Amino acid sequence: MTVLILTAVMKVTIFSPSYVANKAEQTDAAQELVTSVNTDLNTAGVTQNIVTNKMMGAVFETEYRLLLNGNVASAQLSQQIQARISSLISQRAEVTGVSSQISSTLLKAISAELTSQFQQKIHSKVAPVQSELYAANQYNFYAIVASGILMILMFVISIFRHHFWRSFGPGLLIAGLLTAGAAGGIMLQYSDLVSGLSTIQVQLANTVGQSTVVMAGFIGLMMLLLGFMITMGHRVFSKN
């Protein structure tokens, strides 16, 4: 049960492109990109700040999704990122009413420049761990499936042997204790785990990583409390 909880939490946080992208758009690197490109646009005569942090988050989500799905050639990834940026800028320009100020030539130049800066400041820091991300995502999925099947089998067996509540309470209590303990242990070693990482990697770890650990710890404590209540309740009712 502990493995199922931990892997499920990681699936909706660390291995969720939308969740990670939401955290990435809050980093200093994303803000620097936004400021730099908007400055260039203002120089080119586009007075509205059409590039936003939310846009950078959407671009990062595209890249992160590609990285999690396996090895993507650098040229192919660059093309997909540039196409995504171009589409987002066009949509944003229409919303802000400055589409007439952005010619196709300017749009292509902006997209190419933003893609170049994105790869330099963000992609270059994430790409080195691409193979590790892909492998971890695959193993996490297999662990979810395996632990889920095991949980179902244990659930069925306990029902057929008529001791579901007698085993469910202590099992939940122990699983909660292990989950909360694992989360607490990671938090205690957190500074050592992030040492040596680049700035953006540390920023992502401080947001995505810590929120993942906190979520797992909270779920573990709730499981611990619920398991204790079920165990004590079963003992009281069985005596009566």
- Cα(38)–Cα(51) distance, integer angstroms: 6
Which among 85, 105, 128 is the end of a domain?
Answer: 128
Q: How many CB atoms lie within 10 A of CB 134?
A: 16
Report DSSP letters for 58-88, one per residue. HHHHHHHHHHHTS---HHHHHHHHHHHHHHH
pLDDT for the residue numbered 139 = 92
Q: Which of 97, 128, 159 is the last residue of a domain?
A: 128
DSSP string, 112-125: HHHHHHHIIIIIHH
CA distance 101 to 17: 33
Report d(CA 83, CA 95) in Å as an integer: 19
Same-domain pairing of 40 and 85: yes
Range of the domain at 221: 2-14+130-239
pLDDT of 240 above 60? no
Indicate the SS3 state at residue 97: coil
**Where among 109, 128, 147 does a domain terminate?**
128
Domain identity same for 123 and 207: no
pLDDT digits (tens, 9 = 90+) for 53-71: 888 888 888 888 888 887 5
Cα-Cα end-to-end distance for the chain: 30
**For the segment 133-190, what is each residue's pLDDT rounded down to a tens digit?**
888 889 989 999 998 888 888 778 777 766 666 677 777 888 888 888 888 888 888 7
What distance in Å separates the CA atoms of residue 11 and residue 184, rounded to the nearest whole number? Answer: 19
